[in-house]
Amino acid sequence: MSLNVEISHKAGVSVVHLRGQLTLGHAAFELREAFTAEIQKGFKNLVVWLDGLTIIDSTGVAVLISAFVTASKAGGDLVIASPSEAVRRVFLITKLFTAIGIFDTVDEAIGYFEPGTSPETPAGGATPSPEKC
């Protein structure tokens, strides 16, 4: 199964919806380029919507970390929305949740970027924890 990437924009935030498998290969390289292009277009805040992602490997995790770092350097942020249980387990094992905010829904993730929300705290006031992963 390949990776399907759909990009939309809501409230000034780039929403990157992933379906399929984010593993070693050409799709991971293209996704990295897509994140970079969004940031260069001025969409420095990214929500990565993972409800349709079935598998992620170390290459996929590296792509997300790279996008997170690129967004941060541009003055933005990257958060995750709706990861499946299998993907949540990978985030727990890699401790990715300690650096990148994880939200149950896309709307919660977008809400994180609304004015008045602290950049250190995800919307709703709770910081990501292993229990949420």
Residue-range definition of the domain harbouring residue 96: 3-111
List the beta bridge partners of residue 91. none
Residue 115: band (very low, low, confident or very high) from pLDDT cuts 50, 70, 90: confident
Supply φ then ψ for residue 124, to 5 degrees: 95, -10
pLDDT at site 15 = 98
Cβ neighbourhood burial of 58 (10 Å; 0-12, 13-18, 19+): exposed
Instruction: Determine, yes or no, domain membership for 126.
Output: no
What CA–CA distance (Å, rounded) separates 80 from 97? 9
Instruction: Determine, yes or no, domain membership for 100.
Output: yes
Instruction: Determine, yes or no, domain membership for 125.
Output: no
pLDDT at site 133 = 54
Helix (DSSP H) and strand (DSSP E) numbers for the chain:
4, 5
pTM for this predicted structure? 0.87
In the chain, the number of structural domains is: 1
Instruction: Determine, yes or no, domain membership for 51.
Output: yes
Supply φ then ψ for residue 71, to 5 degrees: -65, -45
Residue 109 · residue 80 · CB < 8 Å: yes
Distances (CA, A) of 9 to 52, 77, 121, 132: 18, 15, 22, 26
Q: Which of 112, 51, 52, 114 is nearest to 79 (CA)?
A: 112
pLDDT at site 57 = 97
**Average pLDDT of the residues of the chain:** 89
5: enclosing H helix or E strand: strand 3-10
Instruction: Determine, yes or no, domain membership for 82.
Output: yes
* CATH number assigned to the domain comprising residue 28: 3.30.750.24
pLDDT at site 1 = 67
Instruction: Determine, yes or no, domain membership for 120.
Output: no
pLDDT at site 132 = 55
